[in-house]
Amino acid sequence: MASQNHIENPFEFVIEKLGWAASDISHAVLPRRDRHAAQAVPVVHKIGASDLWDALRKGAADVGATRDDVLFIGLIYPLAGLVLARLAFSYDLLPEVFPLASGFALIGPFAAVGLYELSRRREQGMPVTWFDAMGVFRSPAIGSILGLGAILLGLFFVWLAVAWQIYLATLGGTAPQTIAGFERSVFTTGGGWTMIAAGFGVGFLFAVLAFALSVVSFPLLIDRDVGLVTAIKTSLRAVAANAGTMALWGAIVAGLLVLGSLPALVGLIFVVPLLGHATWHLYRKVID
């Protein structure tokens, strides 16, 4: 048994707090066999590029039908990015601004669970209001949803730590005095270009891992309580069975997020709802 004075690491802290919200996070990390025994293993289908465009079209239709509601929810993502970026400037963590901004893509699927719920309700012909997004918290699979969110948050924090180590190894540990000085260090020195290359390479690996774990699993858990392990395995199978198409989808997501980040992350107010709803419709095409 853990001692009373045990100091939690950040990942333990996140798991504990999410566990309070879900009543018992252990049921998400280690799903009870009796609760999920009757659930059939989801069947994965092959999809093509045309399915991606159709998912985007249907996602745009959802945005158009519930635009006031999803714009309200979509504000969460850009506002969180601006707040964290402001904190980075305040605490002389300029080198972490880009990792913070880009790292939101790792936890974006978790932030979009309310949008999946709205698409699910609209698909069933049910009335949709912004409050219906909160229906996720009444889901039987809420423990698994929060458990998967904790995994993505863990990846996010690890990415920040790795990005900081890359900065230390390439540009040293001296905090930049000004934004202009930091930009000169990044774009006019060999160490700066090494940091850029290493950061993009390592960040890409984190993004691929988060994408593979979550692209299908969150919508699946919104749809039916199959358990955390089954949801992750299904998402991995879906990516493996549709490697080329999923790679294209990942590129579309990345491209739209980059465009949405300009200017000052404001475009994410529109991009995040579109991608959230489109991901639900993509799930419907991939999973029987």
Output the average pLDDT for the chain: 81
State yes or no: pLDDT of 40 exceeds 90: no
Residue among 139, 159, 114 at smallest CA distance from 22:
139
Do the beta carbons of residue 147 and residue 21 sit within 8 Å? no
What's the mean pLDDT in 189-218?
93
| CA-atom Rg of the chain in angstroms | 20
Average pLDDT estimate for 62-81: 68
Calculate the dihedral angle through the C-alpha atoms of 276, 281, 285, 288, rounding to the nearest 10 degrees: 90
pLDDT at 229: 92
Q: At what angle do helices 49-65 and 243-260 cross, to 10 degrees?
A: 40
Where along the chain do its domains lie? Answer: 53-286
Residue type, 57: R
pLDDT at 27: 47
Tell me what percent of the chain is helix, strand and coil, each rounded to the nearest 5. Answer: 75, 0, 25
